[in-house]
Structure 1
Amino acid sequence: MKPRDMVVTPMGLRFMGRLFPCTLGRGGIVSAETKREGDGGTPAGVHGLVGCLYRPDRLARPCDWAVPIRPGDLWCDDPKDEDYNLMVRAPFCAGHETLRRADPLYDIVLLSDWNWPRAERGRGSGIFIHSWRRPGYPTAGCVALDPQDLRWIVARIRYETRLVIPEALAGHGARRAAQTHQV
């Protein structure tokens, strides 16, 4: 592992010598080989960070490489569509997730390289790092943090920073993962 890696541990997310409470997918940590669209699993592995999105109407640019989320920005999560696991624009008729949400979950979003840029259909889309709904509340497969912790982390990420989810943690059930990955 590299010094600037973000590492999921049984006690939370470790980054730059600090430990941050986090929540994971409702399906727990799953092996990268078994990850499927809609399973709610957070895939084990070493994931690069390929982008940062933010809501400019709600907060200042969190880092110099962040891109604003505009009205109409969506993320395609339909394995049958040619734009599967890519950012798209409305109007868009295939299955998608709205990036400009009414709630603050996606005020800052770190994009991982899970199944990207050339997605294998059905292997899962959009593993993000974003704000949590509340402590201990699982995600659809992403890693979620307290919004203040997320802002602290984003300001310190460097080009070489990766998200590391150890394969040894795979197989933890949803209930166990949601409990063990919060502090």
Structure 2
Amino acid sequence: MTPLDMVVTPRGLRFGGHVFPCTVGRGGITGKKREGDGATPCGAHRLVGMLYRPDRMAAPADWAVPIRPGDLWSDDVGDEDYNHMVRAPYAPSHEVLRRADPLYDLVILTDWNWPFSVPGRGSAIFIHRWRRPGYPTEGCIGLRPDHLAWIAPRIRFETRLIVGSDPRWDA
């Protein structure tokens, strides 16, 4: 591990000399991630992008990409664009990135099952704001909005998300 790594621990997300409370997937943490299991995959995941809502916030980093109307994320295991950002109109199963709620106002993308996705291995693992303290995600890492805003401009190309296996989290 390096000082730039974000490390998920039972106490929270450790980064930059701080430990931030966080939530993980409703399925816990697992080494056997599958589409729809709600689990957060353990391992070292590279950060590969950052998305933000320009109508709701300023760019958190100079390399952040705005979320536009019509931006979607494919979660259809049978589609060639599975686990990639796509644009509407898009008929296969997908997740809307430009949501009415603030959940995806700022999203850090990991390389989980990307860019060469394996159908059924699980779609995107994002780092985004949580719904509320202790409320699990669908497999992503959830953080308090102000903590996410503090972290976003401090991550670098070398930063990884490290999710360790813990008996309390194994699914």
Q: Aligned runs of 1:67-78 on 2, under 5 Å?
A: 67-78=65-76
3-state SS of 1:51 partner: strand
Q: Cα distance 1:170–1:124, how it changes in 2: closer, same or farther (>3 A)? A: farther
Instruction: State the Cα RMSD in Å.
Output: 1.1
Percent of matched pairs sharing the same residue = 68
Partner of 2:8: 8
Partner of 1:28: 28
3-state SS of 2:127 partner: strand
Q: Aligned runs of 1:82-161 on 2, under 5 Å?
A: 82-161=80-159
Aligned residue identity for 1:113 = D
Q: Which runs of 5+ in 1 are unaligned?
A: 175-183
3-state SS of 1:155 partner: helix
Q: Cα distance 1:173–1:164, how it changes in 2: closer, same or farther (>3 A)? A: closer
Q: Deviations over 1:61-81 (max 9, x none)?
A: 011110000000000001000
Q: Cα distance 1:64–1:10, how it changes in 2: closer, same or farther (>3 A)? A: same
Kindly report structure 1 stretches of 4+ aligned residues shifted beyond 2 Å.
Answer: none
Aligned residue identity for 1:49 = L
Per-residue deviation at 1:171?
A: 6.3
2-side partners of 1:162 and 1:120: how far apart?
21
The 8 Å contact of residues 29 and 170 in structure 1, kept in 2 or not, is answered as no
2-side partners of 1:50 and 1:96: how far apart?
20
3-state SS of 2:48 partner: strand
3-state SS of 2:103 partner: helix
Aligned residue identity for 2:114 = W
Q: Which runs of 5+ in 2 are unaligned?
A: none
What's the TM-score once normalised by structure 2's chain length?
0.98
Aligned residue identity for 2:157 = Y
Q: Cα distance 1:171–1:11, how it changes in 2: closer, same or farther (>3 A)? A: closer
Q: Deviations over 1:71-123 (max 9, x none)?
A: 00000001000000000000000000000001101000000000000000100
3-state SS of 1:14 partner: strand
The 8 Å contact of residues 44 and 170 in structure 1, kept in 2 or not, is answered as no
Partner of 1:48: 46
Q: Deviations over 1:3-45 (max 9, x none)?
A: 10000011000001100000000000011xx210000000000
2-side partners of 1:115 and 1:166: how far apart?
17
What's the TM-score once normalised by structure 1's chain length?
0.91
